[in-house]
Each structure stands twice: as structure tokens, then as C-alpha cells.
Amino acid sequence: MKIAIIKYNAGNVQSVLYALQRLGLDAAVTDKPAEIVSADRVIFPGVGNACSAMEHLRRAGLDEVIVSLRQPVLGICLGLQLLCNESEEGDTKCLGIFDVAVKKFQHEETGTGSFKIPHMGWNTINSLSSPLFAGVKENSFVYYVHSYYAELSADTIATTNYMIPFSAAMRHNNFYGVQFHSEKSAEAGIRIISNFLKLT
């Protein structure tokens, strides 16, 4: 199986590569359109700022490459957010795969300062409704580091509640996204990555 990890200025590539190695697999880290398009599976990781990430993708022509993909694609953390319509981070127009907006956590939503931003650490995923979660139990713990979240929508396939319920994972056609760091989420995360690689 040929796996491509999209190389751009916001990728958490090494931890994704390590997770794949735990599964006995390797991947090409690439920003070359031909390599990405010809891969059997594409992983779109991300840590950083949505605005600068989208600017980089557009300059490299990778925005058009990503939306054209027909094989299974997995966005991770910022990768999920960039697959949405828009982000409040820098008032950024994103790739528009998931028909939903990305919002910033606001303390005012709950009227309490007891929640820290960014949302960092382990939290549970619920309402799992995709083969991506085969063998993963409801309320499994996964690892988060984020200040922005995708709202609930018709594309939501898992939820987490931190201040408010938000999309822990999403799917539209061949595109999947997880807000948590699956590559850092212990056995549940490895199972999710393994399930992604088996999707048809």
C-alpha cells in the first residue's frame, strides 16, 4: 500500500510516521501532486495556524490537489479544520469539503472560567458512527490540543464535549477528519489509523 503524508508548513509528520511504523508501514512525506494523487491513502496532518497553512497550500497548488482526491483521505487536527468551509482563525476560507464552520472556544459559552483554552489532554469520544471506529469503544479516550473546533453537522461521525459538544470526527464521501491526535492517542488512536488504512 502506498501512503502519502501531505508535506506543508503545519504538519506533525514525525508522530504520524511513528504511528505508521508501529503498524509495520511506511509513508512518503511529499508535496508533489503526482505522488499524492497516486497514493492509495492520503494523510493530511496539521498543527499550527489555519490562515498561514491555507496560504501555503494555495501557493503550492495543494488546495486544488486535495479537493480533487478520490482515495480515502484522513485530516488530523488542523487537517480536519482545513477541510471545513471556513475558520474563525484569521477569518480563513478553507477547502470546503465539510459543510461547516470552525469556531474558537469561548469561555462565555458556559459562563465559567473553569475550562482552559486550548483544550489540551485526554477526553472521550462518543456517538461513534463510522467504520473508522470499528473495534473502538464508546467513551474511549483520545488526545487533544486545540483552541478551535468544528461545529456539529451532518458530517459528524463522533463527538466530544468540552464546554460544548463539537465534532471529534467527520466524514464526507472519501474524506475523513479527526480533531484529536490519533497518532498520539494510544491504542484507540492506532486502531483508528489502522481502520482508515483498511477503508475502501
Residues annotated as catalytic are 77, 181, 183
Return d(Cα 71, Cα 20) in angstroms, integer: 18
Return d(Cα 112, Cα 126) in angstroms, integer: 24
Please list, in sequence order, all residues whose beta carbon lies within 8 angstroms of the beta carbon of residue 16, skipping any fewer than 6 positions away.
Answer: 5, 27, 43, 45, 76, 183
Return d(Cα 90, Cα 79) in angstroms, integer: 16
Return d(Cα 45, Cα 11) in angstroms, integer: 5
Do 155 and 75 touch, CB atoms closer than 8 A? Answer: no
